[in-house]
Structure formats: C-alpha cells, structure tokens
C-alpha cells in the first residue's frame, strides 16, 4: 500500500514536470514574432515622405520609420520585378536562383524563407502581386494576381482558383490581407503575411477618391530632367524617356472620345478603361475629360510638352501611392487594435526604386541610384528603437536571412544575404563595404542594356555588355546624380583600379562570371526564353 502511494506520487511529479516543459516550449513558440512583409511595385523612395523629398505625404508608411527604423541605403540586386521577388524569397542573387529577368521561369521547388518558416510552425500567406507563374510554394494561403494585374476589376487566383473581383486593386488587396488576418489566421501560431501591392506600377490609374489630389500642385522636375547623356552611351539608347516614350493615352490618360489622339497604345488603354463599371467610367470621365479638352486646346510642344507630361505622370503616380498608404494604415491599425503590435515585425519595401523624372525617365532597370535604391522601413517594437536610422549598405538579398534569424530558424549556409537583425539593433561589429548588381533583360522592353557593377560607400563601377562594351565610374560624393562618367579621367586612375578589384572580389564571393552571363544569353538566343 505504502509502496503504491510512492509510485503514484513519483508518477504525478513526472506528469507535472513533463507538462511544465511542454507548456514552456509552447510559450516560446507562440512568442516568436509575426511578420508582415509589405511590398509595393515601383515605389520610388522619393515618393515616401519619411525620406524627405517633399513630393507627397505618406503618414502611414512614415509611421513604420517613426516607430522603428529607416534604411537610407537599401538596394536591390537586379532592378526589375519578378527577379527582385525571387531574390527576396531565396536570399540568393539572380544568377544563383535562376530568375534573371521577368520572362524566364522561376523554379518554385528551390528553398525559400516562407517554406522554412512554414516548416518551423508558422502559418503563412501571400496576398497580391507575385509576378511568377506556378502555384506559390511555402504558403498555406495564397491569393495572387496573374502577371501584372489590373487596376480596375482585377482578377485574383485564390489557392489556384481564378476569379474577377469588382473594385479597385489596392483596396481589394488590402481587404484580402485584412480578411486573412481577421478570419483565416490561426491565433495559436506565429504568422507570416506577404502583403504585396501592384501599385504604383504603370499605368498609374488612381482610385476615384484621389482623382483631384495634387490638382493645385505643379511639380518642378529634377535638375537633370533634360540630361543629354554625354559620356554615357548606354544611358542614351534606352526607351524610358518621359518626353519620347510616354504614350499620351496609355500612360497619360488622354483617351479623347473624338478619337483624335491616335497613339501606339491607345487600344491597350481602351481595354483597361473598359474594365470599369459605368459608374466608375462616369467618375473617370468627369475628371479626365476637362484635362483632355484643355490639352487639345493648348497643344503644348517641345519643352512645354515635356513639362506637361512630367506633371501628368507625377499626378497619377502619386495618387496611386496614396491608396497604398491608406492600406498600410489599415493594416497597422489592425495590428494595434488586436494586441499584435508589440510582437509583429512590419517591413515596408518596393521591388525596386523608380525614376520620377531623374535623367528624364520613368521606369527602372539601371544601376543608377534612383532605381538601384529601394525604400526599406522596418518596425518591431520589441527589439528596434523608435527613430533608428541605418546608413549601411543593405540589399533585398538580406530579407530572407533576417526573417529566419528573427524566427529562430537556422539560416542555410548557401543563403547569400546577411541578417539585418544585429545591424538594426546597433550591435553589428562589422558590415559589408560593397554591394553587387546584375541586370539581364536585354533585348527587352525599354531597351536598357545588360550590365553588372559594384557600389561602395563613395564610388560606383558599371560594365555594360552584350552589344556594347562600356565602363562607367561615378564619384557619388561629388556627383550624386551620376552625370559625369570619370572612368577615363586620369585623376581617378587609382580609384578605377580599386573598384575593378572590388568588382572581382564581389564576383568571386557570390559566384558570378562572364561565363554565367554568356550562358544566360545563350538561353535567350536559342529562343528558350523569348525576351520580347
């Protein structure tokens, strides 16, 4: 009898110990941070008020910087949409993950950080633009746009099933994200939400409530708007000039009812317009028809036309940003109101930067600052001090290892980026002094030539190749707008040699080479990839 009592007592003690261990490990797991990874498409850092360019007001995006950290030197590795997304998912350069341009296929079977988080117990969701074919892997829930997506009455693919949703894309994407947070989230698991907007991508079609925003504002173009590209032949042959390449109808909305304005892409814009409901069309026409009439009456030419186009572009571009900012506010509010703020990492970034008239351009692709750089803002109240400013060189390559680090998941040794966790806490003892860049989509839209290069704190070396063999060197301290190529300037001979050494170091470190470039070219030339 006494013996039995003892056995029962020991048994009970063991049960208590076992249960307390179990609940401790569960507590640890539930305490892992949630991650909301907000990405927009073509959002220039110049169009986020936290970066101080004075073009517009983005109070909600700014909140992330105010309550957390802003990165002043965030860069991409390849300034184009789908390749950037592949880099962010894998933490590997394009020549390693295989997604070198918008046209080539992405291999979803390779590792990505969402897969690792999912395996480790996170609930994962992907909402909005992804721009890569195939069912996304690593997500318990996906509701994505096919390809580029449409501003009005967009089609979405929910877990593989297509449907058209009436309304405006930015608000629909936000609603889907909020609906997932409210109704699909399993409250006992940490979560990863990729909330990826199409806006402010071309063709910059605003939401009705913002049609008149900035009507009272005339924007002055950047100082190098009338760039003549002297000493930079690869910059001279692009097709992304606001003056020469923006289509009056497709880009600038001059779809006149009389049909007088005949442009190359009028039909394409007509199809976008036709997606609207009668009500939406009426509101659209009420705003744009008087602008069309005024444009036809004034018929600006030359410099006046260039400035008119620039302003028309800026007005619509910045309006689409405003709807993005609203969505960010709604998601931040949801986190706050539901007790999730403290333990959720929120990242805001774009798939790359964008030209808002610098060098006379729209679009991206070049390794010049405005499209090489991208906005990065991060908040995580538990670990990141409000108002942190980071000036070190970071890249979108760093997101995957950063998320894994925060989630306590081992970072695979073949990941090429570095975790930003220590850097943002002010605890990184050393950091990289150079970053590497590649661009491949040539022949292709906008005709930006193939190039690769290296950037250090002060200098940038770029090599354009394929049907050109052109080197460019910039002293970013003296020439931040990259107007003067000093590659052949004898006073920069030492800098040039050092930068060539840096470039070789980067190519060795990451495993890039002329042979790999040739292999990617051969695939294009063989027609395996139709690089339109």
365: left (phi over 0), alpha (psi -120 to 50) or beta: left
| Residues 107-136 close enough to bind ligand SGN by CB under 6 A | 131
Residue 524 C-beta: closest distance to ligand SGN, Å: 17
Cα angle 70, 84, 176 (rounded to 5 degrees) comes to 75
| Residues 320-359 close enough to bind ligand SGN by CB under 6 A | 351
Tokens of 31: 């305490």
Instruction: Single out the residue of 43, 185, 202, 455 in contact with ligand SGN (rule: CB under 6 A).
Output: 202
- Asked if 102 is part of the footprint of ligand SGN (rule: CB under 6 A), the reply reads yes
Stretch of 42-50, 162-170, 314-322, 328-336 contacting Ca ion, by CB under 5 A: 42-50
C-alpha distances out from residue 257 to 270, 300, 316, Å: 11, 20, 20
- Number of chain positions touching ligand SGN (CB under 6 A): 14
Stretch of 17-25, 117-125, 200-208, 387-395 contacting ligand SGN, by CB under 6 A: 200-208
Residue 364 C-beta: closest distance to Ca ion, Å: 7
User: Cβ-count burial of 108 within 10 angstroms (0-12 exposed, 13-18 middle, 19+ buried)?
Assistant: middle
What is the residue-wise DSSP string for 268-296?
HHHHHHTTS-HHHHHHHHHHHHHHHHHHH
- CA 217 – CA 213 distance, rounded (Å): 9
Which helix (H) or strand (E) segment is 46 a member of?
none
- Asked if 398 is part of the footprint of Ca ion (rule: CB under 5 A), the reply reads no
Q: Which of 40, 112, 129, 102 is nearest to 417 (CA)?
A: 112
One character per residue 48-87, x = contact with ligand SGN (rule: CB under 6 A): --------------------------------xx------
Which helix (H) or strand (E) segment is 460 a member of?
strand 459-464
Q: Which residue has the tokens 């600006």?
A: 300
- CA 51 – CA 375 distance, rounded (Å): 8
Residue nearest to Ca ion (CB): 81
* Residue 16, CA atoms < 13 Å, CB-side half-sphere: 6
475 binds, among Ca ion, ligand SGN, none (CB under 5 to 8 A by kind): none
Q: Which is nearer to Ca ion, 81 or 356 (CB)?
A: 81
Residue 378 C-beta: closest distance to Ca ion, Å: 20
Residue 98 C-beta: closest distance to Ca ion, Å: 19
| Residues 266-325 close enough to bind ligand SGN by CB under 6 A | none
Q: Which is nearer to ligand SGN, 41 or 111 (CB)?
A: 41
- Number of chain positions touching Ca ion (CB under 5 A): 4
Residue nearest to ligand SGN (CB): 81
Q: Which of 267, 264, 252, 227 is nearest to 305 (CA)?
A: 252
| Residues 442-471 close enough to bind ligand SGN by CB under 6 A | 445-446
- CA 117 – CA 400 distance, rounded (Å): 10
Q: Which of 146, 3, 140 is nearest to 82 (CA)?
A: 146
Instruction: Single out the residue of 67, 140, 341, 363 in contact with ligand SGN (rule: CB under 6 A).
Output: 363
446 binds, among Ca ion, ligand SGN, none (CB under 5 to 8 A by kind): ligand SGN
Q: Which of 139, 125, 132, 144 is nearest to 97 (CA)?
A: 132
One character per residue 339-378, x = contact with Ca ion (rule: CB under 5 A): ------------x---------------------------
Stretch of 21-29, 201-209, 379-387, 507-515 contacting ligand SGN, by CB under 6 A: 201-209
Residue 317 C-beta: closest distance to ligand SGN, Å: 13
47 binds, among Ca ion, ligand SGN, none (CB under 5 to 8 A by kind): none
Give per-residue burial for 88-104: e unless 16+ CB within 10 Å, then b. bbbbbbbbbbbbbbbbb
- Asked if 81 is part of the footprint of Ca ion (rule: CB under 5 A), the reply reads yes
- Asked if 201 is part of the footprint of ligand SGN (rule: CB under 6 A), the reply reads yes
Instruction: Single out the residue of 37, 38, 40, 41 in contact with ligand SGN (rule: CB under 6 A).
Output: 41
- Asked if 370 is part of the footprint of ligand SGN (rule: CB under 6 A), the reply reads no
Residue 109 C-beta: closest distance to ligand SGN, Å: 23
> What SS3 class is residue 481?
coil
Strand 394-395 to strand 123-128: parallel, antiparallel, or no bridges (unpaired)?
Answer: unpaired
Q: Which of 375, 401, 514 is nearest to 53 (CA)?
A: 375
203 binds, among Ca ion, ligand SGN, none (CB under 5 to 8 A by kind): ligand SGN
C-alpha distances out from residue 119 to 22, 111, 138, Å: 19, 11, 9
Q: For residue 111, is the peptide bond before it cis, meaning its omega torsion is within 30 degrees of 0? A: no
Q: Which is nearer to Ca ion, 341 or 358 (CB)?
A: 358
Residue 443 C-beta: closest distance to ligand SGN, Å: 14
Instruction: Single out the residue of 32, 37, 38, 42 in contact with ligand SGN (rule: CB under 6 A).
Output: 42
Stretch of 65-73, 179-187, 196-204, 487-495 contacting ligand SGN, by CB under 6 A: 196-204
Q: Which of 446, 427, 430, 271 is nearest to 352 (CA)?
A: 446
- Asked if 41 is part of the footprint of Ca ion (rule: CB under 5 A), the reply reads yes
- CA 220 – CA 310 distance, rounded (Å): 9
- CA 449 – CA 468 distance, rounded (Å): 8
Residue 106 C-beta: closest distance to Ca ion, Å: 15
Could you tell me which residues come within 8 angstroms of residue 236 by beta carbon, excluding any fewer than 6 positions away? 229
- Asked if 42 is part of the footprint of Ca ion (rule: CB under 5 A), the reply reads yes
| Residues 144-173 close enough to bind ligand SGN by CB under 6 A | 148
- Binding footprint of Ca ion on the chain (CB under 5 A): 41-42, 81, 351
- Binding footprint of ligand SGN on the chain (CB under 6 A): 41-42, 80-81, 102, 131, 148, 201-203, 351, 363, 445-446
């Amino acid at each position: 009898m006494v013996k039995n009592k003892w056995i029962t007592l020991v048994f009970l003690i063991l049960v208590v110990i076992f249960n307390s261990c179990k609940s401790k490990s569960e507590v640890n797991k539930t305490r892992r941070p949630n991650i909301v990874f907000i990405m927009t498409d073509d959002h220039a850092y110049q169009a986020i008020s936290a970066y101080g360019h004075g073009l517009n007001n983005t109070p909600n995006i700014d909140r992330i910087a105010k309550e957390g950290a802003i990165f002043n030197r965030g860069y991409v590795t390849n300034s184009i949409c789908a390749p950037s997304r592949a880099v962010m998912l894998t933490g590997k350069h394009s020549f390693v993950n295989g997604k070198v341009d918008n046209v080539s296929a992405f291999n979803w079977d390779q590792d990505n950080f969402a897969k690792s988080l999912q395996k480790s117990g996170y609930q994962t969701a992907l909402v909005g633009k992804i721009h890569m074919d195939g069912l996304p892997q690593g997500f318990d829930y996906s509701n994505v746009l096919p390809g580029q997506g449409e501003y009005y009455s967009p089609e979405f693919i929910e877990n593989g099933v297509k449907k058209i949703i009436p309304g405006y894309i930015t608000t629909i994407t936000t609603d889907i994200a909020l609906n997932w947070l409210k109704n699909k989230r399993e409250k006992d698991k940490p979560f990863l939400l990729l909330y990826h907007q199409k806006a402010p991508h071309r063709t910059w079609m605003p939401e009705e409530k913002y049609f008149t925003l900035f009507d009272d504002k005339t924007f002055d173009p950047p100082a190098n708007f009338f760039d003549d590209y002297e000493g930079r032949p690869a910059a001279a042959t692009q097709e992304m000039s606001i003056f020469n390449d923006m289509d009056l109808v497709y880009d600038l909305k001059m779809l006149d009812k009389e049909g007088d304005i005949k442009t190359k892409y009028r039909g394409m814009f007509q199809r976008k317009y036709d997606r609207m409901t009668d009500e939406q069309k009426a509101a659209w026409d009420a705003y744009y028809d008087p602008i069309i009439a005024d444009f036809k009456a004034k018929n600006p030419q030359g410099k006046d036309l260039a400035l008119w186009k620039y302003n028309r572009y800026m007005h619509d571009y910045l309006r689409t940003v405003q709807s993005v900012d609203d969505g960010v506010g709604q998601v931040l509010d949801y986190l706050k109101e539901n007790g999730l703020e403290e333990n959720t990492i929120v990242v805001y970034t774009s798939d790359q930067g964008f030209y808002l008239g610098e060098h006379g351009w729209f679009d991206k692709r070049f390794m010049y600052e405005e499209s090489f750089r991208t906005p990065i803002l991060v908040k995580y109240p538990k670990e990141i001090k409000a108002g942190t400013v980071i000036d070190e060189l970071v890249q979108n390559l760093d997101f995957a290892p950063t998320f894994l680090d925060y989630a306590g998941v081992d970072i695979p040794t073949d990941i090429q980026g570095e975790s930003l966790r220590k850097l943002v806490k002010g605890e990184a003892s050393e950091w990289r002094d150079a970053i590497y860049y590649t661009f491949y989509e040539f022949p292709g839209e906008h005709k930006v030539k193939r190039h690769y290069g290296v950037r250090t704190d002060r200098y940038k070396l770029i090599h354009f190749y394929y049907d050109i063999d052109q080197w460019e060197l910039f002293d970013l301290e003296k020439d931040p707008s990259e107007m003067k190529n000093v590659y052949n300037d004898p006073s920069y001979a030492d800098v040039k040699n050092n930068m060539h050494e840096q470039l070789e170091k980067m190519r060795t470190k990451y495993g890039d080479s002329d042979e790999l470039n040739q292999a990617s070219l051969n695939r294009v030339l063989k027609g395996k990839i139709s690089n339109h």
